[in-house]
Homo-oligomer: A and B are copies of this chain.
């Protein structure tokens, strides 16, 4: 297991829905997606249908379907004679992604604050914030990232808006590699605990506009920091 596996487990909402009726198509989709998120297939890596089929011990048909899905989610492109190719994520892409994420998670926060939040999910949010603090104290960035993702994931889920949930998940997946990469390079997210706590307070007190404002500011800052970091490091591709 790679050191990032714990974070990866929570990196997408989809992974919360286990595959009951397992068909090969879903298996292929899950496996390929995981290879990409874990970095086993880095940006630019190519994989032929037959390669994947052989590796996963199935025929090309379900593999093709999985690739179609991954393409539609913006994870790979499909080039006629080169199989699928993992799309690199440029600094520009990250800027675009964070712009959209800012807006989407903003209304998620607003919606949750407006609908009101029950005791149990509120406690879960507070627990995630607490974990972030503990992880920072211990200097464990991976655990911090895990708690951070858990917080954001829960928040979006609480909105109850299916489309919102799906789209945010998709964007997270696309940004995942870059976030993991910069985890060790970025300045320590000292403020994150305070910011998240403030957001929770706004939600708990039923202040939709404030919740949205806080979360948007938060995401905007995080995005800006990340993009500048990538540009500074010349990491235009990953």
Q: A residues touching B (Cβ–Cβ < 8 Å)?
A: 61, 64-65, 68-69, 72-74, 96-97, 99-100, 102-104, 106-107, 111, 161-164, 166-167, 171, 174
Contact = CB atoms under 8 A, between A and B. Distances in A.
Contacts of A107: 99-100, 102-103
Interface of chain A: mostly helix, strand, loop or mixed: helix
Number of copies of this kind of chain in the complex: 2
Contact of A72 (B69, B102, B103, B162): B69
A96 B162 contact: yes
A61 B65 CA distance: 10
B68 A164 contact: no
Contacts of A61: 61
B69 A100 contact: no
Contact of A164 (B65, B99, B111, B161): B99
B164 A96 contact: yes
Nearest to A64: B65
A12 to B, nearest CB: 14
A4 to B, nearest CB: 23
Please provide the 5 A-B residue pairs with the shortest distance between their CB atoms, ordered closest to farther: A103-B103, A103-B107, A96-B161, A72-B72, A100-B163
Contact of A167 (B64, B100, B102, B162): B100
